[in-house]
Structure 1
């Protein structure tokens, strides 16, 4: 039996007892060896559960200090991600929000400055106003004229390059890919990047789900990253790691970002317990090709819904399906409640297909479609109020 720090590792029969102790009896056993509830959870791709290979990687990891840059597992992951994205350097951060905020604050040296971004973007709607409070920046939202993704023409309308002292000059353009499951085309990124750099404006990408655009064949990871001065990539959205994101850029960016990360409490000690699982997530689920299957399943779900008379509000380009619940004549709350009757967890009309969603989940979803669109009765019960299954953040 393996030992760690003089204590024996848990035998398999002790896992359930320890799980109950850690959760005060609220859970029977963990789900390292199987998806568990995640297999029937369409609310987001953040609900994926880590795998046994991730557990083994954590158990095997180095246990040195990342603040001192001593941990080889963490240093190796950062070097691996820098190479994968074609950038000089990378830095571990704890979340996608931390990645965006550290990157943007690193790039914006001192006010006055403004950031141009899509009006639906994560940094605008889901990061607690961090660009304002942490960076002192004015955020200027852009509405895509095509209804799907921002273009250079859209960006130009909101970008301030004037020397007028009444204006707040744009120092950074922050794009997001994918956004609502929709791909920002590589060619558009390149056009915006070329124009921005001609005007000495920095480019940041919230690439939490950039993996999905690459898996869909929209462009290579390196080609997308070449358009931006900094990129944030998430290991726990879609790739299944339990925690962590990475930001990449040049060496000067990375070194300043270390200061910023430390200032907001992002320095880790034994970081290998995070980075070991993140490395497995990239290798097994991104490089291993599992995301393409998610896209195919998302298209299957969309086609099933449409075949039964349903409508969608967005095209299916990656792993998200958007049911038009208004057209189906059902409220969000009722849809969530009916979904629970067939054993599904739903957030509303947006369904996110991750790699742990299987055939059984789709079969249950088809039963729900029959009830919503064809008036079939469901015999199951809803144990939770709809608002309990809704989480307000991504």
Structure 2
């Protein structure tokens, strides 16, 4: 199996993503370092770090970063959305739904998500896949969420909620007046004849309303779905999740193999590092290192995610180098970051990072409760 040092020695094209907290729930994934959210409070070290990582002019480009938006809706465990860009209004990539006790994660992809997800960050009720709004035994089915007449402070989509209820109120107050048949003008026989002639000459009269027709939302389904499963929750190899895409099996698992420059993390956080292994179909196939995650001590940063783009291109059967066309022009390779496999790797990485962080928080809380109980006795 290839190790991190072997992968780095092969000079693979590498993408380094810095994962930061954005408020209490949201997450930003960016290749640009944010000195203010790094470990330490020394302003001089922040300035030095900023000088080593200059900020490019295209920082706001959607293709340069990702955003994990976690909507808040009372009495509902709504899925997160992975979006392109550094804002919660970016283009949705997929929906991420955590199962009970982190046993599995359901990730739903589709280019149509931008049309079925409302400003709250959840699927519209009109676009639910099934009339009974169930998603059992169908990973591609989308669950819709209604816009309630009331709203709790802190829920997502404050302005959208007000707009929807304002339209409801306006529609309720608008009364359609029926025309009284006794008040209609009498039509003479000649006028009836003229009316009949005009109808025969023009069998398809224009619409009675000049207002444009509003498209009615239709039920939608995800184009693809990926299941990330906790392989061995009750074993010595507990930190291992697996998923499959394109006939290739992937495994997120714990590791202590870190970069030589970060040996301190190996000893201080031995149970927090993760690596992604790919196994090609076939007997005796070699395990391939695709990516690795190293957590951070900074309170506003999760850690760093490394993804070997050239390895992802090889898994897709593509050449990672530029080629010469018949006309003599140089054609650049396809952007691997825009492929569905790369999006699946990024989404499963966020599942692992979020899940591991939540487990540590619960474990720390239980230890604190146990310590308080022991001190009370």
Establish whether TM, by shorter chain, passes 0.5. no
**Coarse TM-score class (shorter-chain normalised):** under 0.3
Q: TM-score scaled to structure 2, two decimals? A: 0.27
Q: TM-score scaled to structure 1, two decimals? A: 0.26
Higher RCO, 1 vs 2 (CA within 8 Å, ≥6 residues apart): 1
Instruction: Decide which structure has the larger Cα Rg and report it.
Output: 2
Give the helix-richer structure, 1 or 2: 1
Give the strand-richer structure, 1 or 2: 2
